[in-house]
Homo-oligomer: A and B are copies of this chain.
Amino acid sequence: MNNNEQILALEVLQKAAWLEDYPVTLANSLVREGRLVRLNAGEWAQAEGDNRNGLSVVIDGLLHTYCTAPGDRDVMIWFAEPGSVLGHATRHGGGPRLVTAVCAEPSILLEISESELDKVAKHSPEIWRAIAAFTYEDLRNALRMTAEIMSLRPRERIAARLLAIAGDDQADKNPVLRISQELLGELMGVTRKTVNIHLSAFERDGLIRTGYGRIELCDLSGLKMIANG
């Protein structure tokens, strides 16, 4: 059982974008040093402000990440899926964690503490380079999001976010998002009503098809045109 999970963890690490350019031994070391943790839906993987150091790699499940704005307002930032990394790894503490991560489904995390990272780094110092890489990727997404919110109006922003959530699944079929309009609004800082209005308009124009907790993107290029103004 535990063994199965270890094998799964190894597979996830090997396929993760931030590790794919590094030797397999690195993924092996991480699984060997880290601890697998099972969490139920609703449980917190980590809280913003935690001072525990180290990383948590999502092996299975789905988490939602939140960030706190001034005035104790939480805003949902993004999802963490298998392969995503939570937490940080700066030297000497380096300050509190950035986000709160809550399990949306039962999930499995691989937790690697600061000292365990040090052990891995002893034989594979390039681990820090890999960590810099995924942090940079997170930075890219955060900046993109910031630029979108600042320069796009809700209608365009909704189109842009739909495309971002769909990701690069350039499969042959139309991408289908399983997400409520309420959550969509939370993700982009508008109310459900606003989301609803624009989704209805998109559906009228044949760009998407909506259902109960479900959005099918039918015309990706049309959505891109809207996102681009």
Contact = CB atoms under 8 A, between A and B. Distances in A.
Contacts of A7: none
A88 B188 CA distance: 27
Contacts of A125: 125-126, 128
B147 A149 contact: no
A195 B223 CA distance: 32
A77 B147 contact: yes
Contacts of A21: 91-92
A132 B126 CA distance: 11
A132 B143 contact: no
Interface stretch (A38-46, A102-110, A134-142, A199-207): A134-142
A136 B69 contact: no
Identical subunits present? 2
Contacts of A92: 21
A67 interface: yes
A90 B133 contact: yes
- List the 6 closest pairs (A to B, CB-CB), nearest first: A150-B189, A128-B128, A125-B125, A142-B142, A69-B147, A132-B132
Given A70-B156, A128-B128, A128-B129, A94 B147 contact: no
Contacts of A146: 67, 75, 77, 142, 145-146, 149
Interface string A66-99: 0111111111010000000000111110110011
Contacts of A188: 150
Contacts of A130: 91
